[in-house]
Structures are given as C-alpha cells and as structure tokens.
Amino acid sequence: MSTTKYDVAIIGGGPGGYVAAIRAAQLGKKPVVIEKDRPGGVCLNWGCIPTKSLLKNAELIFTLQHAEDFGISCDNLSFDISKAVDRSRKAAETLAGGVEFLLKKNNVKIVKGHGRLKSASVVEVTDAEGQASEIHAESVVVSTGSRTKAIPVIPVDGSRIIDSTDAMQLREIPTSMTIIGGGAIGVEFAYFFAAYGTKVTIVEMLPHLLPLEDEEISEQLEKSFAKLGISIMTGARVEKAEAGSGGTTVAISRDNKTETIYSDITLMAVGRDPNSEDIGLEELGVETDRGFIKVNDGYATNVPGVYAIGDVVGAPLLAHVASAEGVNLMERLAGHETNPIDYGNIPSCTYCQPQVASVGLTEKAAAEQGEIKVFKMPYRSSGKAVAVGHVEGMVKLIADAKYGEILGAHIIGYDATELIAELCTARTLETTAAEIRQTIHAHPTLSELVMEAAAGIDGEAIHI
C-alpha cells in the first residue's frame, strides 16, 4: 500500500469536485481528486452537456419543419438519431478531456478508483483491479453527486423503463414514450423526442410542468408543448409502471380515478438520490438526512475535517451550485473571508424551446412578502425576436413596489437561459428596475426585452 499526503482530498470529480480542486490549487494548496470515471461528473458526461447537444438537434428539426417560412425547401428530410447521439457523446468526450487538461495544468493529481473514508484524514481508494491505496489529507471533501431516484414501483430496466442516462443513448426512435415527472429532465427529453416524432405523454403529479417555476411561465410552457403535440397530464400521480415485451404500462391516479397509459418506452424522471452509500460515512458517524449529507453554512459535516458539497448535500441539485460551493469551501479552508452563497439568487434554466429561465421569487412568493409591481414584456414586441422568428414568450419582472428592487425574474422564450444572467447580476447588486431601464441595451437584441420589462415596472415601456 502506498501513501501520499495532500492538503485536501476530494472524493468525486464532478462540477463540485473538479472546480474545488482547481480553486484549491490556485490558492496554493495541494489537492487530489479521487474519481472512478472520467472527470466532469454526471453533468458533463451524462447530463447537462450531452443533453444540450441533443436539444440542439431537436431545435434544428423543428426549425427545418418550418423551413418554408424562410423560403427554404427541404425535400426528403431525414433524421438519424444515432448520429445525434454520437455528436452528443463527442461533446462530452471533448469536454471531459478539457477538464483533465485543466486539472493537469493546475497540478491537480487525479487518482482513479472508488474513494472511501477510513478516517477524517484518510481515504482508501480501490481501483478497477481491486488494488487499494491510501490518501492522507488534512481535509476531505465529499462531492459524490447523485443518481436517478430509485422507486420500487417504477423499476428501471434500462430497455423499456429507462432513466435519463439510457434516454440520451437511444439509437432508435421510440414510437411512443410516457415520461414520469414534469421537472427539468422530463421536460427536456419530452421536447427532444417530440422533435423526432415520438408520441410523448408527460405525467406530472403537481398542477403544472416545472412546478417550481412561476405559475404563469409553466402555463405558457404547457401551451407551447401542446402545440408541439406533447400530451400533458398534470395533477396525475404515477402509482406503478411495468414493462412487457411489447411495451410499458403506467398506472396513474388523477381526481380519484385510475387510468393506464400504454407506450413503447417509459422514462423515469422523478428526481435524484444522493450517492452517499459505501463511502464510509456511517462508520465515521457523518450525519445524513434521507441520504443527503448534513452540512453547516461552511459545508462542514458534524465530523471535524470532513466537508461535503454539491448534489450529495441536497437541493438545489444543480451543477452551477456545486461549483460555487466548491469555490466557496476552498476559499474558507484557505482562510479567506468569503461571503456565503446567496441561495435566493440561483438561476434555474430549462433548455427546451421555448427555454425557461428564472431567478429569485415567483410572483406568488413575492406577493406574500409585501407589495410588488409586475410587468411582462412579450417577445413579439422585440424587433430582434421578430427578425429571427422567435416571437413566443415573455420576460416577466417582479419588483418591490416601494424601491423597485428586482425580486424575481422569469423568462420563457428564445435564449432565456442566456438573458437571465443580467438579472442575476442585477439582484446581486440590488439593482432597481429604474437602473436597468437607464442602462442602454444594444438594438436589436433580445436583451432589450429585459430593459423594456424594467421600464414597464414604472409604466414606461415604449414598445407595447
């Protein structure tokens, strides 16, 4: 058994772990990342990145279906889903290589294998051949991420009842698909498969798709999806799913009635479980709550020297949150004075078309806290949106009635996921609607919609 001593040992090389390692190295520390697969985690290898590649294909297909609007004729159009999958795998490969390069450039050691805490300062790493080695470090960070939630009544078998990892590798187009769960994963895959002609039904237990978003935005998304031929069953709870040789049956309860949906394939997208088993937490006495590691504001567990970040500590399960937590923790460990992360100012983005992006409070939540002003600027009022042919959607701003501070921003429409960044910065700076309005935005851009929505808060929008 060989031993090496590091400042910080990071178990898991996803967006939490690898970013933490690079930040630690920048701060003059000696980090090591323990990772059994390629660095980049689920996000880069089996989540955010490959799905965004696939969603680009879906967007292109829908655009080509309206090619006539642009005076372009395409006869005998055909779509090869297998090539779309290949392209998405290549995007993931390229970026995983990029992360390996960045780690190397920052002198971060990667140890390949399964990491397990032996004590608060020793991690045992077992490689693919079963060989064990020990890593000694002053601090240990657990950033092991999450996996598809396991629900016994919905048994994922990888062929008929699948999860998102299976869905992004299907090389044949299913004729029909039931998607259980109308969160980000369900909605993004619904859009993707609908583009390839699959008859998609989404079953969501709560009253709306993307139930955490502002209600009006979710309703708008439901209308847009209905136009694409996607069937939506909300307020419908999946009780059981079964796979047979010819397809799947999904039993649903809605309004005290039961129904059954038959489809070729069922996609399970009802959330994620933490990867907190078999990493030595119980033996060390690290406290968890339903599997998620309990941490304080500084990401410390109850065991001195052991920290945790990212999906494994719980919601919001987002790559950008994991990365921010990694940076924040490393700065604390290096003795820097670091502001805590503002969990009320985290953007949420869903990459179907129209895209959905938001930050801050929904209208309902803001109204419960005090007097507000709300303004909605429709995409069809934007010159850029009309010129590029993306007139569906709105920018909705919610401001405090007295001072005009932006409390919430909700965008549905083309490039919403890019437009939201301005509003995140605005909220960090406690910017008012009047200040956004006074900031000249280039013409013609979709960002003018943000400026005009801000002007609208004080009744001063021009193009409506």
Give the residue numbers annotated as catalytic, written as ranges: 443
User: Which residue lies nearer to ligand NAD by CB, 195 or 374?
Assistant: 195
Query: In whole angstroms, how close is the CB of 362 to ligand NAD at the nearest point?
Result: 15
Give the total residue count for the chain. 464
Residue with tokens 């801000």: 454
Q: Is the dihedral of CA 358, 274, 313, 99 positive or negative?
A: negative
Position with the least CB separation from ligand NAD: 183
Phi and psi at residue 198, to the nearest 5°: -70, 140
Query: What is the three-class DSSP state of 329?
Result: helix
Query: In whole angstroms, how close is the CB of 37 to ligand NAD at the nearest point?
Result: 18
User: Which residue lies nearer to ligand NAD by CB, 236 or 306?
Assistant: 236
Query: In whole angstroms, how close is the CB of 237 to ligand NAD at the nearest point?
Result: 5
List beta partners, residue 265.
177
User: Which residue lies nearer to ligand NAD by CB, 30 or 240?
Assistant: 240
Query: In whole angstroms, how close is the CB of 176 to ligand NAD at the nearest point?
Result: 17
What are 349's two structure tokens?
Answer: 């983005």
Neighbours of 387 (CB within 10 A): 10
What is the rounded CA–CA span in Å between residue 250 and residue 280?
37
What is the rounded CA–CA span in Å between residue 279 and residue 142?
9
Query: In whole angstroms, how close is the CB of 410 to ligand NAD at the nearest point?
Result: 15
What are 5's two structure tokens?
Answer: 């001593």
What's 293's DSSP letter?
Answer: E
User: Which residue lies nearer to ligand NAD by CB, 109 or 237?
Assistant: 237
Question: Which whole-number Å values give the CA distances from 150 to 155, 157, 269, 272, 294, in the listed order?
Answer: 8, 11, 10, 8, 21
Phi and psi at residue 367, to the nearest 5°: -65, -30
User: Which residue lies nearer to ligand NAD by CB, 211 or 247?
Assistant: 211
The CA dihedral of 6, 12, 13, 16, to the nearest 10 degrees, is -100
User: Which residue lies nearer to ligand NAD by CB, 182 or 354?
Assistant: 182
The CA dihedral of 410, 416, 421, 422, to the nearest 10 degrees, is -70
What is the rounded CA–CA span in Å between residue 333 and residue 43?
25
Query: In whole angstroms, how close is the CB of 218 to ligand NAD at the nearest point?
Result: 10
Nearest Cα to Cα of residue 191 among 52, 320, 42: 52
User: Which residue lies nearer to ligand NAD by CB, 139 or 275?
Assistant: 275
Residue with tokens 């929904």: 362
User: Which residue lies nearer to ligand NAD by CB, 270 or 330?
Assistant: 270
Nearest Cα to Cα of residue 446 among 390, 366, 396, 403: 390
Positions in the binding site for ligand NAD (CB under 6 A): 180-186, 188, 203-206, 211, 237-238, 269-272, 317-318, 349-351
Neighbours of 305 (CB within 10 A): 13
Q: How many helices (H) and strands (E) does the chain have?
A: 14, 24
Query: In whole angstroms, how close is the CB of 399 to ligand NAD at the nearest point?
Result: 25
Query: In whole angstroms, how close is the CB of 412 to ligand NAD at the nearest point?
Result: 14
